[in-house]
A and B are shown apart, each in its own frame.
Chain A
Amino acid sequence: MLRPKDDAPLPGPAPAAEPLIALTGVDKTFGPVKALSGFTATVGRGEFVTVVGPSGCGKSTLFNIVAGLEEPDAGGALRFEGRSCHAAELLGRVSFMPQRDLLLPWRNVVDNAILALEIEGRPRREARAEALRMLPEFGLAGFEAQYPHQLSGGMRQRVALMRTFMFERDLMLLDEPFGALDALTRTMMQRWLLDVWQRHRRTILFITHDVDEAIFLGDRVLVMTARPGAVKLEQRIDLPRPRRPDLVTAPEFIRLKRTLLEAIEEESMKSFQTSQETAR
């Protein structure tokens, strides 16, 4: 898992350059519920940004907008690659990985991995050959002909990640990809993801519940407020890369964790109180 890096650690995001995606004052309402309110954030090219927040804070709504699946309310601005655009224009331009692996049970590992390429119209033979080359990197060598019901949860998740990576887009959206995994598998997967990310140099926006995970992975952590969701705190994580597993016990890590936990705690209390009020 931990191999020596031939690359130098990725330089931090260059703030001067045009961000890959920028949301300014984005709102989203579903009937009486306001999911996002004045959400503003940017993600630079090659950056790894993690998003944490209390449950029900509109993280998934944010992701659906960035994936192009939902249109934000009128008024906010969405810019992608320096141009203002509608959310729908992002369909097919962002590689999106939802919480559940959503593998197709009638497709084997390779054919699940190439699903997005097939939709793009790439010849199946060529896509399969490429997938076969990538299998070892995703820890799936020898499993190409297996079907999803024959795989463990961690492996299924890796197939889903491989599907996302094979759909080569500059921006990758990962929605709690490791949420369903046990703690041990999860830390393995985190290290592995950093490894793959540094070799493929993609931009990642990553949702999680787990503050440790957010700090361990990210260049920057966005803490969201309780609903309606907005950015409460933006925290740079200047920990050196490559990040080692023992980093989680380093004093800087603990310090960052304390700051973030305080912010999240405050918001969790708020959403807890509001839900109690509405229940009353």
Chain B
Amino acid sequence: MSAALAAAAPPAGRRGHPLVRRIGGRVLALLAVALAWEGLVLLFGIRPFYLPRLSSVLGAILATPGAYAAGFLRTLAETLIGFVAGGAFGVAIAVAFLRLRALRELVFPLFVVSQTIPVIAFGALVVLWFGNTLLAKAVIAFYLTFFPVTVNALIGLESVDPRQIALMRSFGAAPRQILLQLQLPSALPQIFVALRLAASLSLVGAIVGEWFGDTTGLGVLLLQAMYNENVVAIWAALLVSALLGTGFYAAVAALERRLVFWGAEQ
């Protein structure tokens, strides 16, 4: 079996070499897209109003790198705080639901209702409560993040093999030990499915939050460019947002590969 052969190879070799090759492949693909963008715009004479050349977009970014860097960092901070808080809260609530059936029956429907409220409507409220602060954006990111994590973590926690729990009990394990040594690690693959989703959602939350008013952030840059009908600036903000979103997703996926190295074997 090829899986067994691959498994027999030392782990360092398994991770190191193909990773370099994979990154190399991605860089090449990106370069190809960049060249196609530049070339097609020139070739077909597309008006900058619809699609500016990549070089002019990059030029706009490099003209005021400070604004984009500040926006990137600000939005990253909002996204990260919302994501981490949402993830931790989601897992904690899932554990509470697992333990307390009554709590679950009481609170879970409220969660579902909360998720049916459009994020825009909720955002207005959050800005009223927290003002135009970083915290307000993080709260919106949190709001979009915690629910999928709760649901998936609960699915993961409940799908633990009951025979495995019986084995732990026969060793005299306390419920806390069963949770930490068995249930949470077993749920990790499911939790990461939600975390990858949450990585994108938390960025959406942060950017939408910025639209309610702020002075820095990628959402602010987008909004300003839109009001000024500055197409190049819109594309610039979009490009930086894409960089943030992709980078964040890749970081979560890399963490998953590291922590859930055994795959969905059992």
Could you list which residues of chain A lie within 8 angstroms of chain B, going by C-beta atoms? Answer: 64, 67-69, 91-96, 98, 100, 102, 104-106, 115-116, 118-120, 147-150, 167
The 30 listed contacts between A and B (C-beta, < 8 Å) are A64-B166, A67-B166, A68-B169, A68-B170, A69-B166, A69-B169, A69-B170, A91-B169, A91-B170, A92-B170, A92-B172, A93-B172, A96-B171, A100-B163, A102-B161, A105-B265, A105-B266, A106-B185, A106-B261, A106-B262, A115-B171, A115-B181, A116-B171, A119-B168, A119-B171, A147-B7, A148-B262, A149-B265, A150-B7, A150-B8
Encode contact with A along B168-184: 1 for CB under 8 Å, 0 otherwise: 11111100010001100
Is the CB of B164 closer than 8 A to any CB of chain A? yes
Which residues of B lie under 8 Å from residue A115 when comparing CB positions? 171, 181
Q: Is B167 an interface residue (CB 8 A)?
A: yes
Chain A residues within an 8 Å CB radius of B188: 106
A96-B171 Cα distance, complex, nearest whole Å: 8
* Range for the number of chain B residues in contact with chain A: 20 to 34
| Complex interface: chain B residues within 8 A of A92 (CB) | 170-172
A163 to chain B, nearest CB (A): 9
* Least CB separation from B161: chain A residue: A102
Does B45 count as interface, using CB distance less than 8 angstroms?
no
Report if A120-B172 is in contact (Cβ < 8 Å); known contacts: A69-B166, A104-B182, A150-B7: yes
Contact A96 B262 (CB under 8 A): no
Main secondary structure of the interface of B (DSSP, over half): helix
> How far apart are the CA atoms of A130 and B8 in the complex, in Å?
25
**B263 located at the interface, meaning its Cβ lies under 8 Å from any Cβ of chain A in the complex:** yes
Chain B 1-35 near chain A by CB (<8 Å), digits 1 or 0: 00010011000000000000000000000000000
What are the residues of chain B within 8 A of A102 when measuring CB–CB?
Answer: 161, 163-164, 167
Closest 3 pairs between A and B when the two form their complex, measured CB to CB:
A92-B172, A105-B262, A96-B170
A120→B167 CA distance, assembly (Å): 14
CB-CB under 8 A from A118, the residues of chain B are 181
Q: Report the minimal beta-carbon distance from A35 to chain B, rounded to whole angstroms.
A: 16
Residues of A within 8 A of B170 (CB): 67-69, 91-92, 94-96
Contact of A98 with B265 in the complex, beta carbons under 8 Å = no
Bound Cα distance A102, B262 (Å)? 14
How far does the Cβ of A276 sit from chain B's closest Cβ, in whole Å? 30
A104 x B263 contact (CB < 8 A): no
Residues of B near A119 (CB, < 8 A) are: 168, 171-173, 177, 181
Q: A118–B172 Cα gap in the complex (Å)?
A: 11
Chain B residue nearest to A103 (CB atoms) is B266
B171-A147 in contact (CB<8A) = no
Contact status B171-A98, CB under 8 Å: no
